[in-house]
Structure 1
Amino acid sequence: MIPIIDTHLHLIYPDRFAYPWITPAHPLSGHWSIEAYLKEARPLGIEASVHMEVDVAEADIEAETRYVLHLDGVVGAIAACRPEHPDFPAQLERLAAMPGVRGLRRILHEAPDELSQTAQFAEHLRRLPHYGLTFDLCVRHDQLPIGEALVRRCPDVAFVLDHCGAQDIDLTQPGPWRENIRSIARLPNLNAKVSGIMAYAGRGWTVDGLRPYVEHIIDCFGWDRVVWGSDHPVVTLGGTLTDWVNATREIIAKASTSEQQRLLNGNARRIYRL
Structure 2
Amino acid sequence: MEIIDAHQHLWQLARPECQWPTSDLTPIYRDFSAADFNAVSGPVGVSGSVLVQSQPCAADTEYLLQQAEVNAGVGAVVGWADLAAPESPRCIAQLARHRKLRGLRPMLQCIAEPDWIIRPAQAPGLEAMITARLSLDALISSRHLGAIRQLAARYPELNIIIDHGAKPNIAEGQWGDWYEPLAALAAQANVSCKLSGLITEAATSAELTQTGRYIEALWRLFGPDRLLWGSDWPVLNLQSDYPSWLTFCRQWLNANAPEAEAAVLAGNAKRLYRIQ
TM-score (normalised: structure 2): 0.92
In structure 1, stretches of 5+ residues that fail to align are none
Provide closer, same or farther for how the CA distance between residues 200 and 97 of structure 1 changes in structure 2, counting only shifts above 3 A.
Answer: same
Counterpart-to-counterpart distance in 1, 2:172 and 2:250 = 20
Could you tell me which amino acid in structure 2 is paired with residue 42 of structure 1?
A: G
Q: What secondary structure is seen at the aligned counterpart in 1 of 2:265?
A: helix
Is 1:155 equivalent to 2:156 in the alignment? yes
Per the alignment, residue 51 of structure 1 pairs with 51
Tell me the secondary structure at the aligned position of residue 6 of structure 1: strand
Q: State whether residues 224 and 263 of structure 1, in contact with CA within 8 Å, keep that contact through their aligned partners in structure 2.
A: yes
Q: How far did residue 173 of structure 1 move?
A: 2.9
Q: What amino acid does structure 2 have at the position aligned with 1:260? A: E
Query: Alpha carbons of 1:203 and 1:80: their partners in 2 closer, same or farther (altered >3 Å)?
Result: same
Cα distance, 1:202 vs structure 2: 3.9
17 and 269 in structure 1: CA distance in 2 versus 1, 3 angstrom threshold = farther
Tell me the distance in 1 between the aligned counterparts of 2:239 and 2:61: 30
Aligned to 1:237: 238
Q: Amino acid of the residue matched to residue 111 of structure 2?
A: A
Amino acid of the residue matched to residue 10 of structure 1? H
Please state whether the residue corresponding to 1:63 is helix, strand or coil.
helix
Looking at structure 1, the residues matched to 257 and 19 of structure 2 have their Cα atoms a distance apart, in angstroms, of 43
Deviation at 1:108, TM superposition (A): 0.3
Give the structure 2 partner of residue 3 of structure 1.
2
Distance in 1 of aligned mates of 2:183 and 2:244: 28
Distance 1:93 1:261, change over 3 A: same
In the aligned structure 2, how far is the partner of 1:156 from the partner of 1:54?
26
Residue 89 (structure 2) aligns with: 89
Q: What percentage of aligned pairs have identical amino acids?
A: 25
Q: Once structures 1 and 2 are overlaid, which stretch shifts more, 118-127 or 234-243?
A: 118-127
CA offsets 1:79-132 (integer angstroms, 9 cap, x no match): 111111111111101210111111111100111224213112134212223212
Contact kept in structure 2, 1:195 and 1:228, CA below 8 Å = yes
> Quick check: 2:170–2:211 contact (8 Å CA) kept in 1?
no
Task: Write the letter of the residue equivalent to 1:85.
Answer: A
Residue in 2 that maps onto 1:78: 78
**How far apart are 1:22 and its partner, in Å?**
3.0
Mapping of residues 32-181 of structure 1, within 5 Å: 32-56=32-56, 58-72=57-71, 73-112=73-112, 113-166=114-167, 170=171, 172-181=173-182
Give, in angstroms, the shift of residue 36 of structure 1.
Answer: 1.4
Matched-pair contact (CA < 8 Å) for 1:109–1:167: no
Are 1:83 and 1:121, in contact at CA under 8 Å, matched by a contact in 2? yes
Cα 1:171/1:192, change in 2 over 3 Å? farther
| Counterpart secondary structure, 1:155 | coil
Aligned residue identity for 2:21: I
Query: Are the counterparts in 1 of residues 208 and 245 from structure 2 also a CA contact under 8 Å?
Result: no
Q: Which residue number in structure 2 is paired with residue 262 of structure 1?
A: 263
Once the two structures are superposed, residues 191-249 of structure 1 have per-residue CA deviations (whole angstroms, 9 ceiling, x without a partner) of 11110001111443234311111111111111111111110011111111111111111
Q: Kindly tell me: are residues 4 and 38 of structure 1, through their superposed partners in 2, closer, same or farther at Cα, counting changes over 3 Å? A: same
Moved more, 36-45 or 199-208: 199-208
Residue 21 (structure 2) aligns with: 22
- Out of 128-137 and 46-55, give the one that drifted further: 128-137
Q: Distance in 2 between matches of 1:17 and 1:202?
A: 32
Worse overlay, 251-260 or 264-273: 251-260
Looking at structure 2, the residues matched to 164 and 9 of structure 1 have their Cα atoms a distance apart, in angstroms, of: 15
Q: Work out whether residues 193 and 229 of structure 1, in 8 Å CA contact, stay in contact via their aligned partners in 2.
A: yes
Asked whether the 8 Å contact 2:78–2:101 carries over to 1, the reply is yes
Residue pair 1:163, 1:197 contacting (<8 A) in 2 also: yes
How far apart are 1:59 and its partner, in Å? 4.7
